[in-house]
Structure 1
């Protein structure tokens, strides 16, 4: 498996590259944001490890640019700030998970494995009623109309639709959409479900997102 590491701290980069190679990964390194975007959009990577603070272009802008180029490779963002606001910014920019510095190498490997497992299971397209979801182009169409979603809204919709008919708990949704260290004490899920309902269900007679009181949510045709 091939990993792109975008990190400007030379000592940390050297340590991570050595550890990842010993774990069986091939590793390319970019030391600034612009080089990271160039490599990410021209190479074929299984996972991208992206530092938040970078020369030339910060991690959020790098992440957004990668997603604007229709690159769906899982992105793990590294940050030194452990705050809800920072986590939301990273996820909304298109990151799939985040890890706060300092971190253990074993946890980094666990995050990488979880992200790559999820990426391998992506089908070409999901069709539910008049809703079409294309995970490769990250486009959503309902009733012939294109629906514009933020990166995290898309991830949430894709996970719900991939489990059509299955009642999903908030814990399951949090871990699979926001990452294995998702804080179950937040209301992220309910907030994003409301975002999706306004975009996916509000103007359509057949509702797809349903609340299961005391449990979570289920995606199905009424």
Structure 2
């Protein structure tokens, strides 16, 4: 599970990162709302921990923006504001939970666990249009037929499905799927896209993958 912590109290943000890393979560940290929005648009997170009182954009503004973009990522708001109206405002904007400062790290971890569990409808599959990825078996299915995928095929397709726009720059695919291996380049990515498109065509799926102008995206063929 990968989390983003956004809090302008640098020492607190780093302390929370250390606590959550120790609890088994991979965490990124930023210190203002604008940077949080930029990271959310570029990266894939399983949950957000947002402080309300931040510079550039506050936590309410960040939450409002991502909900308007139809992002259903779970959000835990942190704040020294403890009035009922402040909590109601957070929930009205789409927060999953609200934690008032100061708080214990044990309570934070417990709330994060509950928040992520409640958001997880079925963690065994990823779905996009008429295709279904089995995360455990690394198989691609459509119309009751399925193909076994290689690890790289699966990772590439899963990444595109998880991205909010279902598109990714090539450099990010090279980084996330192939960990920037020196022997892998755009030609390698194109080769694996061709493998996946053959399988998608054989499955008679409406989905295909296109690469152009250094961007890879899922397309729906009507």
> TM-score band (shorter)?
0.5 to 0.7
CA-atom RMSD in angstroms: 1.7
Task: Tell me the distance in 2 between the aligned counterparts of 1:116 and 1:81.
Answer: 24
Task: Please say if residues 41 and 66 of structure 1, whose CA atoms lie closer than 8 Å, have aligned partners that are also in contact.
Answer: no
Q: Count how many residue pairs are aligned between Structure 1 and Structure 2.
A: 125
After the TM superposition, list the runs of 4 or more consecutive aligned residues in structure 1 that deviate by more than 4 angstroms.
122-125
Task: Tell me the distance in 1 between the aligned counterparts of 2:62 and 2:96.
Answer: 14
TM-score, normalised relative to structure 1: 0.54
Paired position in structure 1 for 2:16: 16
Paired position in structure 2 for 1:57: 57
Task: Tell me the distance in 1 between the aligned counterparts of 2:66 and 2:102.
Answer: 25
Task: Tell me the distance in 1 between the aligned counterparts of 2:68 and 2:43.
Answer: 16
Task: Tell me the distance in 1 between the aligned counterparts of 2:35 and 2:22.
Answer: 25
Task: Please say if residues 41 and 69 of structure 1, whose CA atoms lie closer than 8 Å, have aligned partners that are also in contact.
Answer: no
Task: Please say if residues 52 and 77 of structure 2, whose CA atoms lie closer than 8 Å, have aligned partners that are also in contact.
Answer: yes
Task: Tell me the distance in 2 between the aligned counterparts of 1:95 and 1:65.
Answer: 12
SS in 2 for 1:88: helix
Task: Please say if residues 34 and 57 of structure 1, whose CA atoms lie closer than 8 Å, have aligned partners that are also in contact.
Answer: yes
Task: Tell me the distance in 1 between the aligned counterparts of 2:119 and 2:38.
Answer: 21
Structure showing greater Rg: 2
Task: Tell me the distance in 1 between the aligned counterparts of 2:2 and 2:90.
Answer: 22
Paired position in structure 2 for 1:110: 110
SS in 2 for 1:21: helix
1:98-177 matches, within 5 Å, as 98-121=98-121
Shift of 1:41: 2.4
Shift of 1:122: 5.9
Paired position in structure 2 for 1:194: none
Whether 2:38 is the aligned partner of 1:38: answer yes
Task: Please say if residues 8 and 32 of structure 2, whose CA atoms lie closer than 8 Å, have aligned partners that are also in contact.
Answer: yes
Unpaired segments ≥5 residues, structure 1: 126-222
TM-score, normalised relative to structure 2: 0.54
SS in 2 for 1:48: strand
Shift of 1:71: 1.2
Shift of 1:23: 0.8
Task: Tell me the distance in 2 between the aligned counterparts of 1:8 and 1:36.
Answer: 11
Task: Please say if residues 14 and 29 of structure 2, whose CA atoms lie closer than 8 Å, have aligned partners that are also in contact.
Answer: no
Task: Tell me the distance in 2 between the aligned counterparts of 1:69 and 1:41.
Answer: 10
